[in-house]
Chain A
Amino acid sequence: DTGVSQDPRHKITKRGQNVTFRCDPISEHNRLYWYRQTLGQGPEFLTYFQNEAQLEKSRLLSDRFSAERPKGSFSTLEIQRTEQGDSAMYLCSPSEAFFGQGTRLTVV
């Protein structure tokens, strides 16, 4: 039990479609981070929330990406008009101590 649940675990989508991922920290956490990991690389920071406020976004987060954390609990990450380069594992994490299981996105 990592204390964080991510849904779905796997998503296959056609290029150009929109996808949305969800992250549910099991216990209360003020902070929540999203990372993206491509094959053979370490996770890369995407964005960070302090409660419901999105405080920082990476340059990796193009206009096609949007993230929310309503009420400071669960968070969603949406990718619009997906591209093959978006294929990656998307990870959320409330702290350095643990990560969710991740959502593996494949864009075909």
Chain B
Amino acid sequence: QKEVEQNSGPLSVPEGAIASLNCTYSDRGSQSFFWYRQYSGKSPELIMSIYSNGDKEDGRFTAQLNKASQYVSLLIRDSQPSDSATYLCAVPYYGNNRLAFGKGNQVVVIP
């Protein structure tokens, strides 16, 4: 079992709609969770971090964490063409804090 899994294929959403991305993780002891946005050819950019069960909102982004079910999700409301990118879920290892990443989900927002 991979440490962090993002299994959905490319996601196409119309402009203004909600994009929903999911991520599961294997280590029940994980305490923090990160979502990154990565444009083609660029490095990852941290857009959300979440540490507690429940929802965390930041602008048009909402992260949702459910530790019992070991999943974390990202919602992008009012999707814009500039949101077209790959979104990476990451979980740090206890101790050295190195990140384990999912393979990412590509989001395409259609004008």
Residues of A within 8 A of B (CB): 2, 31, 33, 35, 40-45, 48, 55-56, 89, 91, 93, 95-102, 104
Contacts and interface: CB of A to CB of B under 8 A. Distances in A.
B46 A43 contact: no
Main secondary structure of the interface of A (DSSP, over half): strand
Contact of B100 (A31, A45, A101): A45
A42 B96 contact: no
B103 interface: yes
Given A41-B103, A96-B90, A101 B43 contact: yes
A100 B43 contact: yes
Given A42-B90, A42-B104, A96-B90, A102 B99 contact: no
Contacts, number: 55
Nearest to B6: A42
Interface in B83-109: 88, 90, 92, 96-104
Contacts of A89: 43
B28 interface: no
Contacts of A48: 96, 98
Given A98-B46, A100-B43, A43 B96 contact: no
Contact of B43 (A55, A56, A99): A99
B14 interface: no
B1 to A, nearest CB: 16
A91 B103 CA distance: 15
6 contacts: A42-B6, A48-B98, A93-B99, A96-B97, A97-B46, A104-B41
Given A99-B44, A99-B45, 17 more contacts: A2-B43, A31-B97, A35-B99, A42-B4, A42-B88, A42-B103, A43-B44, A43-B99, A44-B101, A48-B98, A96-B32, A96-B34, A96-B46, A96-B97, A96-B99, A98-B46, A101-B43
